[in-house]
Amino acid sequence: MNESPPETQAQKTASRRTPDPRGVAHFIASLGGIGYARFMPGTWGSLVAAPPLIAVAFVFGYLWLLGVAVVLTLGGVVLLEPLRRAEKANAQVPEQDEKWDPPWVVLDEAAGMAVALVPFALHGSPLAIVFAFVLFRLLDATKPPPVRQAEGLPGAFGVMADDLVAGLGAAILTAAALFFIQALKI
């Protein structure tokens, strides 16, 4: 017989009191559970992230907004890489599948939205918010080059990088749209 000894009462009590770090990591990476939405979790994550990011842009400006993007990205990599490795070690990620980007992770959408909203911080137009959101979601969902290439980067950095590139593309397109609208005085 190769059975493990039963847990003692003290071990059972200790395991109930010890918080599951994976649970905390899942909570943060899913933006408080928004990532577990059954339909379009990335869009919901972007919608939830937008109001606080707009407030940062409005009150503090674009440099703070970019700072938030950096903090979210570095925090996301630090948070997600151990989760990715644990899931790979538990064979929940097939060996041949190096790409790991579960749909419940929407922290990357918050980082991408922070970059996409830079034109709003610079221009102040509410139209910039609409353009930034729509263009960011479009680029993130369709993954045109170079967004797709960024997604292929190794580890948790690839999870975060594709959204940053989509956010940068959305910011550039939003700024261009605002420029042309202003030039045409629409």
Give 173-182 pLDDT, tens digit per residue.
Answer: 999 999 999 9
**What is the rounded distance in angstroms from the CA atom of residue 135 to the CA atom of residue 153?**
22
Q: pLDDT over 70 for what percent of the chain?
A: 83
**What is the rounded distance in angstroms from the CA atom of residue 81 to the CA atom of residue 20?**
16
Encode burial over 29-68: b for 16+ CB neighbours within 10 A, e otherwise: bbbeebbebeeebbbbbbbbbbeebbebbeeeebeebbeb
Please report the pLDDT score of residue 15 as a whole number.
Answer: 44
Dihedral sign (CA 53, 49, 22, 140): negative
Q: What is the pTM for the complete model shown? A: 0.84
pLDDT at 186 over 90: no
